[in-house]
Amino acid sequence: MARKLAIVTGASGGFGLEIAKLLAADGYDLALVARSEAKLNAIAQELHARHGVDARPIVADLAVVDAADRLFTEVSHCDVLINNAGFATNDRFDRIAEDRITQEIVLDVLTLTKLARKYLPAMIERRDGKILNVASTAGLLPGPFMAVYYACKAYVISFSQAIAEELRGSGVTVSCFAPGAMETGFAARANAGTTPLFSLPRANPAKMAKTAYRGMLRGKALNIPWPPSNWLVDIGARFVPRGILIPISRKAVERKE
């Protein structure tokens, strides 16, 4: 019997790599997608050697408009889709280059949405499949100085919960994982490493991956993990007046000039 196949975007490090390790340990063949060819090749070789699975590196920039179409041409089906790739930009909105804003929205929203649309029909036909969309607690509230990223992750949460409900009883599950800050290269790429939020202790991506993976296997629609500070963000977003909440959100990620 052929092994099931999982696609993992943003698989060259951090959370994506840790999810790929869990999938490989469970016997999934892998399509590992990221921009770094050298890293992907090394990871694919390691996972094959350790678990005996086929791990195919796919070098792709998912921040271009037709990225999902290209990936679907290379990998025409999957049993598990991990939509993990994403990035943020920390700056006042009017100072951010327009092409970077476009790339951020394409990667964080458009590519994620199109990949789900491309792989879902076959999953539904088989009555078997799982999608994990990686969001953030950032999606629970507005985020001055990371406005585009917070808005993108709000979309991911809303989109994921909606289609999870649409697919109830279909045999296919959609899960959204919304962690807080993790110890990955995310903050450095966003130019947010010295902000108050990212100066605090950050979650271990391996531990977060295990939590996300267990939630996906259970079909948990929205998974906000430990520590309790993440749950406080959720509660605050629901009950704290916006006039109080948004200035607090601003202070968490605003850089000192």
Q: What is the CATH number assigned to the segment(s) 5-253? A: 3.40.50.720
pLDDT value at position 257? 63
pTM over cut 0.85: yes
pLDDT value at position 105? 98
- In the chain, domain spans: 5-253
Rounded alpha-carbon distances, angstroms, from residue 44 to 184, 198, 256: 20, 30, 41
* Cis amide bond preceding 201, omega within 30: no
pLDDT value at position 49? 98
Let me know if 149 is a catalytic residue. Answer: yes
| Full pLDDT tens readout for the chain, 257 residues | 679 999 999 999 999 999 999 999 999 999 999 999 999 999 999 999 999 999 999 999 999 999 999 999 999 999 999 999 999 999 999 999 999 999 999 999 999 999 999 999 999 999 999 999 999 999 999 999 999 999 999 999 999 999 999 999 999 999 999 999 888 888 888 988 888 888 888 899 999 999 999 999 999 999 999 888 889 999 999 999 999 999 999 999 998 76
From the candidates 28, 119, 149, 150, which is the catalytic residue?
149
Residue-level length of the chain: 257
pLDDT value at position 33? 98
